[in-house]
Each structure stands twice: as structure tokens, then as C-alpha cells.
Amino acid sequence: MEKIVFNISLFSYLGASLGYFVYLVYRKPVVSTIATATVGAGLLAHTVWLGLRSMETGHGPYTTSFEIGMFFAWLIVVVYFLTEWNFKIKDLGAFVLPLAFLAVLFSAFLSKDVAFVRESQPFWLTLHRTLSVMGYAAFTIAFAAAIMYLIQENQVKSKKLGIMYFRMPSLEVLDKLNDKVITIGFPLFTLGFMTGPLWKAKMDMPVLAWDITKTWPLVIVWVIYGVIFFGRMFSGIRGKKAAQGAIVGFVMVVLTYFLHV
Amino acid sequence: MADPNLVLVGVNHKMTPVEIRERLAFSAGEIEASLERLVSHPEVIENIILSTCNRVEIYARVRDTSKGISLLKDFICDYHNIPVGDLDNYFYSFQGEHAVEHLFRVSSSLDSMVLGEAQILGQVKDAYSLARSLRSTGMVLNQLFEKAFNVAKKVREETGIAERGVSISSAAVELARKIFEDLENRSVMLVGTGEMAELAAKNLINYGVKTVYVCSRTYERAEALAKTLNGCALDFDMFKEEMHKADIVITSTASPKFIIKKDMVEHAIHQRKNKPIFFIDIAVPRDIEPEVNDLDSVYLYDIDDLQSVVSANVKEREKEAETAMELISNEVTKFNNWVVSLDAVPTIVEIRNRAESIRKNELEKALNKMGPLSEEDKNTLTLMTQSILNKIFHKPTINLKKQTQSQEGHVYLKTIRHLFHLDD
């Protein structure tokens, strides 16, 4: 059963990615409706999978890399749905769903062993991991919006107005989207980042005895999004710079993830 | 109903010069009178008159197509007191599915002077609702026009026919909306008072731009233009200091040198905290240093840039028109299927009526032979005979309706009518 729902969500995301791409290029409203329905079905299966897995392990999906990968992909799709509903940008799907698909696909190759949880502070662990992954999901959407922004910006700037110019939303909307998700994602990520040492402290582990190679990219991630977050508030960082920042930040997030796997 | 005998007679901008079109045009009042006159003619069953500056067309359902077509031609000429023979070369006429296709093309704006323009659909809708309110339309034209509106909507949604601006000012507005999304509450600054700049500004105001600044070397000119645009006039030298307040700057001065330089814009952008500015340089020679476009958050288009956007857009619309034509020919087929399916209903009714009269006769005979029966028994027999008919005709009815939707529907129908001997 677990396997079936896993596969349903994997292939739904693949199908929806293709659907959104077709919609982006050919603008057939039917295709986008089908794609959205497919994502919905995938998300449902994905949710069932998370439930089954949690019942099997006795805790939330955030102990092994496999679980975190799946939880991350699930949040990407949830945040995507919220964004699509809020901003009405269907074309975002063509950029976000492939990422959700890749996250699930990659997770499929990870060890599916159930981790034995010895932690005596599950509350802090849950908080730490959940907040961080929520932040990452928001950053993923920011990344997709940034790619779209740079494509659109390049078209307007170079005066070569191709099909994407007409299909994709305005620079302002894409910048607003970047703003929204980072404004929400950065505090979540910060809280997640800070609850890590707190959890360790509660566990009576030495707080500062971090694995440096695993931690330094996180600090860089925090700095990058911090610059965008505060820069937008105080020193007019927006548009292209915010988009470039969101891309660099996301690359660092992915790198960090691989270092942790 | 056999063939609905749809016909169309008209003239348009492609084949007929404006001197003739204007003589053939119908005013709203004239259309009302004409619709009524035509529909009371024994030859005409339904009709709609479409009269715009680019076309005059009468769509009608008539008793006989060739008679109907010449009747409509005569009517148009008669009405405008023009000898019939004079205009023979200008009229086009279509019947059946060609008339349907023509209407679909017209309402989807594929037959317009500017491909994809939005006005024609509104004009067709007006023509239809006028005719409908005067009861000069019936089942077929109602369905045809409603369908035409659907097709036009579909063409707009599913092809890029109307997506791209094909005039300088619409291309500029489109760019502004790709940079700012909403033009509501944006501000625009005009440096110079050229005619094109005024046109572009008006277009932007239509899209919601609220604040307008006008600068000109002659203050009176700035003031006059500011008045018509509901904006405020500025001294010419002020534009440098005030530039940061504008989201869109349109220049059209006669200055032989660049008046807006890169460092000036850099300063303005800094003051705006990197909020974008869209520069439209309509002046020749140009007013804005081209290097301005290298700055982040600054977008500069000069007249040639806009012109090349426009010509690319025109080409794109032509390409989209081909896609639209495929869509339309599918829709024409669907409409024809509907027309053919209309024929199934009367045939079914005729067959049922015949069977029903046989049933009644035979039942009567049987009852007479059987002698006195209770009411209940009579009822049972009636119900039984009715139920036999229903069961026998159930499947054939469904199949007949289904088959008449197919390409060979009319052949099928003809065979059925022959088998049941309905057409003697």
C-alpha cells in the first residue's frame, strides 16, 4: 500500500510537470485543469503516504533523509497550491512541479529503513525539522519564481520578445511572489535553524560541537536569505538582485541537503 | 426540417472600396426597418443584418437558397437606391457551411483589417441582439450566432490572435504591463509634447495610470497638454529632479542631443530604491542615451524597438490565425452536425405517430371482437400495446439520433424515411 501511494504521487508529479509545461507553451486551458487535478491526486496520495509512514515508524516524517526528502516534496506541493491559489500563476507549476518530482524521485533511491528514535526530546526535534523544511519549501518556490523572473527580465531587457514574454506573468508579480515567500520562509527557516542547538542543549549534547562541514553551508544559506529579507526592507534589494539571490540561496540549500544525506 | 438554407450576402473591406461600403451601410434605425421588412417577406424565415465600417452583411435562412441570395442582393441595392447591376462584382455570397464558416471567421476577427481586433465581436453581438429583440431570428440563427460567440471566445483564449499589440502605443502599454502588471495608480511623465507621446499617454491612462506630469520647453504647451490629460505641467528643467517619481517616462522632444543621460537615470533609480522605470523614447533623433538600458531595473525602448516589436507581433498574429482556422473548421463541422440532428426529431415523431395510429386501430378492432370486457382489462390491453411500441422504438430512436450526428447522417435519415414510406 505504501508503495502504491508512493508511486501514484511520483507519477502524478511527473505527469503534472509535463502538463504544466505543455500549458506554458501551447496555452490549452484543458491541459492546465488536468495538470492541477493531477497534482491534487498526487498530493492526496503523498499525504496518505506520510500518514502510513508515520503510523509505521511511530513518529513524524523527519528522522531519516528519506523521510525528510518526502516531507520536503510534500511541503513544496502544498506551498505551490497555496501560491497558485493566491497569485493565480498557473505557469509556476511548470517550474515547481519538476522540483517536487525530483525530490520524490531522489528520495526513492534513499534507504527506506526505519530509524530508531532514541531522542528524549521529540518535541524540539519535531519543531526544528518541521520549521526548517517549511523554510526550504518556501525557498523552492522563491527559486522557481526567480527563474521565471530572470527569463522574463531578459526578454524585456534584450527586446527579443519570445513566446515566454507573452506567457509569463509580469516582472512585478514575480518579484512580489519572491518577496512573499521569502518574507514567510526566512523567519521559519531562522526559527528552525535556532531550535537545532536548542534541541541539542535539551539533549544534553554539547551545543557548539557541530559538524562544521555540515553546518557552514547552512550559515551561508541563512546569510543569503537574510540579505534578501532585510535588504528588501531597508536598502531596496528587489527585482533582479532578489531573483539572483534566491537562485544562489537555493543552490546552497540543495548542496546542504546533499551534505546531510 | 430539411436543409436549413442558410445564406449570407455582403461586402467587406477586402473587396469593396470605402466609397461603396459607405453607400451600402445601414444605420441602427435602418437596420430595424430592414429586418422587419425582410422577415415579413415570404422567402425569408430568419435574418440578421451586420453593418460596420468595414462590412455590410445579411445572414438569413430562406426557403430557397439561390432565390434568397438574389433577393438579399436586390434588397441591399434597392434600399440604398443603387442599380443592382452596378455592384455585382463587389458582393460575395455564401450558403450552408460556407456561410457558417464566414460568420465564425468574422466574429473571431480573422476577417478584420487588423487581425484579432476586439471590436468586431461586440458589433456582431449588437447586430444579433437587435435582430433577436425584433424577433427576426429563429432557432437556427440563434444557435448559429450563440455558437459564433463561443467560437470567438475560444479563439481568443486558445490562440494568441489577440495577445500581442499591433500598434506602437498598444505594444508600449503591453510592455508596461509586463513590467508593472497593474497600471492602476502608476505615474507617467511626458518630456516633450509630441502627438505620439500624447497618444501613448492616453492609452496608459485608459489602463488606469493616475498621475501625469508634462514637461515641455514651452510651458504653455505643457500646460495645455496637461489639461487634456488631467495631469500637471512642470518647468522643463524640472524633469531631472522629478524623474524618480515617474514609473513610465515618455520622451518626444525635438532636441538634437540626448537629454536623458545614464548618470541621471542612475540617480533617479537610486532615489526610487531600485523600483523600475520604463522609458519610451519616441523622439527622432533620440532623447535618451541608449546605455540607460544597461542599468538594472531600467527598461528603454526607442521608436525602432517598438516598431520591430509591432512587426513581430503582426507576423505572430498571422501565424495564430492559421491555428484559429483549424479550430473554426472543427466548429463548423460541429454546427453542421447540430443542423443535421435537427432532422432526426421530426422523422422520429412521424414514425411514432404512424405507429400510434396503427396501434389504436388494431386495438379497437380487437376490443370489438372480444365482446364486453371490464375497464381494468381494457386498460391492461392498452398499456400492453403501448409498451410494445415503446420497447420496439426505444433503440431505433436512440440510434437514429446518434447516427444523424455522424457525417453520413443525412443518408441514414433518408433510408429510414424511405423504409417507413414517410415521403410519398
Q: What is the pLDDT of residues B102-151, one digit of tens each?
A: 999 999 999 998 888 888 999 999 999 999 999 999 878 998 999 999 99
Grid cell digits, residue B274? 531600485
In-domain check, residue A53 = yes
In tens, the pLDDT along A32-52 reads: 889 889 999 999 989 988 888
- To the nearest whole percent, how much of chain B has pLDDT over 90? 48
What is the rounded distance in angstroms from the CA atom of residue A1 to the CA atom of residue A7?
A: 10
pLDDT of residue B211 exceeding 80 = yes
CA distances from A34 to A12, A26, B397 (A): 11, 14, 35
Residues in A touching B299 (Cβ below 8 Å): 156-157
CB-neighbour burial class of residue A112 (10 A; exposed 0-12, middle 13-18, buried 19+): middle
Backbone φ, ψ for residue A107 (5° rounding): -60, -35
- To the nearest whole percent, how much of chain A has pLDDT over 70? 92
- Using DSSP, state whether B295 is helix, strand or coil: coil
CA B281 to chain centre: 34
- Using DSSP, state whether B99 is helix, strand or coil: helix
In-domain check, residue A231 = no
Confidence category of residue A212, pLDDT binned at 50, 70, 90: low
What are the contacts of B318-325 at 24+ separation with CB within 8 A?
Answer: B318/B115, B320/B116, B320/B159, B320/B160, B320/B161, B320/B163, B321/B110, B321/B115, B321/B116, B321/B159, B321/B161, B323/B158, B323/B159, B324/B108, B324/B110, B324/B155, B324/B159, B324/B161, B325/B105, B325/B110
- To the nearest whole percent, how much of chain B has pLDDT over 70? 97
Reported ipTM: 0.84
Question: Looking at the partner chain, which of A170, A235, A238 has a beta carbon nearest the beta carbon of B178?
Answer: A170
Question: Looking at the partner chain, which of B296, B299, B308 has a beta carbon nearest the beta carbon of A156?
Answer: B299
DSSP B363-395: HHHHHHHH----HHHHHHHHHHHHHHHHHHHHH
Asked if A244 reaches chain B (Cβ–Cβ under 8 Å), the answer is no
In-domain check, residue A14 = yes
Confidence category of residue A183, pLDDT binned at 50, 70, 90: very high
Residues in A touching B301 (Cβ below 8 Å): 159
Cβ proximity of A35 and A96 under 8 Å: no
pLDDT score of B1: 43
pLDDT score of B32: 92
In tens, the pLDDT along B279-314 reads: 999 888 889 999 999 998 999 999 889 988 888 888
Min mean pLDDT across A107-111, A129-133, A189-193, B104-108 is at A107-111
Strands, E assignment, A102-250: none
pLDDT score of A242: 92
In the block, which residue shows the cell 390491453? B381
pLDDT score of B91: 92
Q: Which domains does chain B have, with CATH numbers?
A: 6-158 (3.30.460.30), 168-310 (3.40.50.720), 338-419 (no CATH)
* Of residues B265 and A60, more confidently modeled: B265
Cβ proximity of B159 and B108 under 8 Å: no
Residues in B touching A169 (Cβ below 8 Å): 181
In the block, which residue shows the cell 550559515? A219
Sequence letter at residue A84: E
* Of residues A117 and A82, more confidently modeled: A82
In-domain check, residue A220 = no
In-domain check, residue A235 = no
Mean pLDDT of chain B: 89
pLDDT score of A143: 95
In the block, which residue shows the cell 528514535? A117
Asked if A158 reaches chain B (Cβ–Cβ under 8 Å), the answer is no
Decide if A159 and B178 are in contact by the 8 Å CB cutoff: no
Mean pLDDT computed over B229-244: 88
Backbone φ, ψ for residue B11 (5° rounding): -130, 150
* Of residues A163 and B387, more confidently modeled: B387
Asked if A164 reaches chain B (Cβ–Cβ under 8 Å), the answer is no
Decide if B296 and A241 are in contact by the 8 Å CB cutoff: yes
In-domain check, residue A221 = no
Cβ proximity of B363 and B385 under 8 Å: yes
pLDDT score of A68: 84
Grid cell digits, residue B204? 496608459
In total, how many domains does chain A have?
Answer: 1
* Of residues A120 and B421, more confidently modeled: B421
pLDDT score of A51: 87
pLDDT of residue B330 exceeding 60 = yes
pLDDT score of A121: 60
B215 is catalytic: no
Q: Which structural domain range is residue A55 located in?
A: 1-117
Mean pLDDT computed over B358-377: 91
pLDDT score of B92: 94
Task: Give the CA count within 13 Å in the CB-facing half-sphere of A124.
Answer: 15
Q: Kindly state the DSSP code that residue B293 receives in the 8-state scheme.
A: G
In the block, which residue shows the cell 426557403? B63
In-domain check, residue A44 = yes
pLDDT score of A211: 64
Asked if A171 reaches chain B (Cβ–Cβ under 8 Å), the answer is yes
In-domain check, residue A152 = no
Decide if A172 and B180 are in contact by the 8 Å CB cutoff: yes
